[in-house]
Homo-oligomer: A and B are copies of this chain.
């Protein structure tokens, strides 16, 4: 059965691949599962039909027959559990890979989202610089710990896993920032992930939504 995911009809980042459908597309490409995409506008996301699928009115969602899921982390885990390739077979290694998915989403991403919210909502405030210093300090603490743990390894824990996929999705939010540039091993880690054929196919597919829309505009 071909699953259907949702993505933004109008890419807020002009195809930079920061929206969370990118993580789901990438996981589907890694396991070789074809998928359909339904594009939704910002207005449609807040309508009852979409809210029935996603109570918080966001993307991505995932539909497979009667099953409807939301939350990119949960969707990536579901894909990884249905197909070989994104989680180790060994029970302990599998639990550790899933731990990195949660670490990416609950420990590393929140201060990064906080920085984005500050850039968006507070950049005209007189206290913006002072507050941003605190937010970036919390990101620095997380990245230093992460860089120390990764060291010279290619991936977090043996072979590439869903943990790496979700974590790279989070770190890509900092692309071009001094925060990430302070850790050459993290820069190399993200580049290594972005060089994977599955990443490239997923990135091209989400970019095409943006370029096609603008080609006909």
Q: Which residues of A contact B (CB under 8 A)?
A: 51, 55-58, 66-71, 73-75, 77-78, 91-92, 95-96, 98-99, 101-103, 105-107, 109-110, 113-114, 117, 121-122, 125-127, 130-131, 134, 138, 142, 145-146, 148-149
Contacts and interface: CB of A to CB of B under 8 A. Distances in A.
Given A57-B145, A146-B55, A106 B107 contact: no
B105 A106 contact: yes
Contacts of A107: 56, 58, 71
A31 to B, nearest CB: 16
Contacts of A114: 110, 114, 117
Number of copies: 2
Contacts of A71: 99, 102-103, 106-107
Nearest to A93: B67
A131 B125 CA distance: 10
Contact of A66 (B92, B122, B125): B92
Contacts of A92: 66-67
A149 B66 CA distance: 19
Contacts of A70: 99, 103
B57 A74 contact: no
19 contacts: A55-B145, A67-B96, A69-B95, A70-B99, A71-B99, A71-B107, A73-B106, A74-B98, A74-B103, A77-B102, A78-B95, A102-B105, A105-B106, A110-B114, A114-B117, A117-B138, A126-B127, A127-B131, A131-B131
B74 A99 contact: yes
Contact of A121 (B58, B67, B134): B134
